[in-house]
Amino acid sequence: MQGQGKGTMNTAEMTAKIAQGNGFIAALDQSGGSTPKALKGYGVEEGAWSNDEEMFGLIHEMRCRIIRSPAFTGEKVLGAILFERTMDGSVDGKPVPQALIDKGIVPFLKIDKGLEAEADGVQLMKPMPELDALLSRAKALGVYGTKERSVINLANRDGIAAVVAQQFDVAKQVLAQGLMPIIEPEVNIKSTERAGADQILLEELTKALDSLASGQQVMLKLSIPQKAGLFNALVDHPKVLRVVALSGGFKRPEACAELARNRGMIASFSRALLEDLRAQMSDAEFDRSLAAAIDEIYTASTQKSLVTA
């Protein structure tokens, strides 16, 4: 399963790779509002584009450069989460999901349309009236699963329960289309109530998982808990295919150190994966820098520094 894959991974093989593979999931899904920030981090200043089309063209080229890189393979990268425009685009004339599958990397799609204003200490997802159409398009392109993000800022049980209920409603819609949902209720790591929010989230997720139909599974994408090992019960839950972690604003060394303290959690980093890459680098420099980041995140995902009970 760890090999390169030659464009032949079927759904069962993708499931096995995600469930048991050694590695992590790359998040290449910055969208809309966060695109200028992502480009700036990559060394492309605001004046480099004159409209949204050009801006999206620049970020697409950055993603193509990553996907093309010899460092970016299914040996250490199990999957990649794509923004809708990236999914619809191509790398060297090949649809992006197929280009990933050809490298042994399982494609996922970010499906949420952004966040509502905060209420009860949380931000729910905006409505997704076009979701079924998007899911069938994704499936036709070979996409394996989806990802949807909400944000938890405070340890407010009503708010967190609402986030989890909405996440599972959407997840059931995704499952009905034969795709694997990644549920992402992000606890803000800068929250003064982070530990309390982690604990309530654990309780609400456990209830929702227990109520899933027999044979159904989801994935979870969670902020690394303040208390190492807090999410072990989720890692072990029979309804959970895999638990992945977001970097949440931690720089890569800190994100990796925190991740390594949590058994069974693997990375699904975005900024922490891309933070050292620059548009101005030569291809050799770019590939070296990307390979170093991949190695560091792979190690934190697969070698745990403090195994907790």
Domain count, the chain: 1
Contact 199, 161 (CB under 8 A): no
**From the candidates 75, 148, 184, 258, which is the catalytic residue?**
184
Note the pLDDT of residue 125. Answer: 98
- Domain assignment present for residue 228? The answer is yes
What is the C-alpha separation between 132 and 173, in angstroms, rounded? 8
Give the orientation angle of helix 157-176 with respect to helix 131-140, to 10 degrees. Answer: 50
Give the orientation angle of helix 252-259 with respect to helix 283-302, to 10 degrees. Answer: 20
Note the pLDDT of residue 1. Answer: 38
Note the pLDDT of residue 30. Answer: 77
Identify which of 26, 23, 48, 73 has the alpha carbon closest to the alpha carbon of residue 280: 48
Note the pLDDT of residue 7. Answer: 56
Taking only the tens of pLDDT, the chain with its 309 residues reads 344 444 579 999 999 999 999 999 999 987 767 788 889 999 999 889 999 999 999 999 999 999 999 999 999 999 999 999 999 999 999 999 999 999 999 999 999 999 999 999 999 999 999 999 999 999 999 999 999 999 999 999 999 999 999 999 999 999 999 999 999 999 999 999 999 999 999 999 999 999 999 999 999 999 999 999 999 999 999 999 999 999 998 999 999 999 999 999 999 999 899 999 999 999 999 999 999 999 999 999 999 986 544
What is the C-alpha separation between 64 and 68, in angstroms, rounded? 6
- Domain assignment present for residue 153? The answer is yes
Identify which of 252, 250, 244, 246 has the alpha carbon closest to the alpha carbon of residue 302: 244
Phi, psi angle pair for 282, to nearest 5°: -70, 165
* Residue 15, SS3 per DSSP: helix
- Domain assignment present for residue 91? The answer is yes
Burial environment of residue 58 by CB neighbours within 10 A (0 to 12, 13 to 18, 19 or more)? middle
Note the pLDDT of residue 2. Answer: 41
- Side chain identity at residue 269, one-letter code: F
- Domain assignment present for residue 261? The answer is yes
Residue ranges making up the domain that contains 254: 11-302
Note the pLDDT of residue 105. Answer: 98
- Secondary structure tally for the chain: helices H, strands E: 12, 11
Contact 234, 212 (CB under 8 A): no
**Is 116 a catalytic site residue?**
no
Note the pLDDT of residue 293. Answer: 97
* Residue 245, SS3 per DSSP: strand
- Domain assignment present for residue 2? The answer is no
- Domain assignment present for residue 177? The answer is yes
Note the pLDDT of residue 8. Answer: 76
- Domain assignment present for residue 267? The answer is yes
What is the C-alpha separation between 181 and 172, in angstroms, rounded? 8
- Side chain identity at residue 259, one-letter code: L
Contact 244, 182 (CB under 8 A): yes
**From the candidates 221, 239, 258, 296, which is the catalytic residue?**
221
CATH number of the domain encompassing residue 18: 3.20.20.70
- Domain assignment present for residue 1? The answer is no
- Tokens 């654990």 sit at which residue? 202
What is the C-alpha separation between 182 and 167, in angstroms, rounded? 9
* HEC sequence for 33-74: HHHHHHHHHCCCCHHHCCCHHHHHHHHHHHHHHHHHCCCCCC
**Is 254 a catalytic site residue?**
no
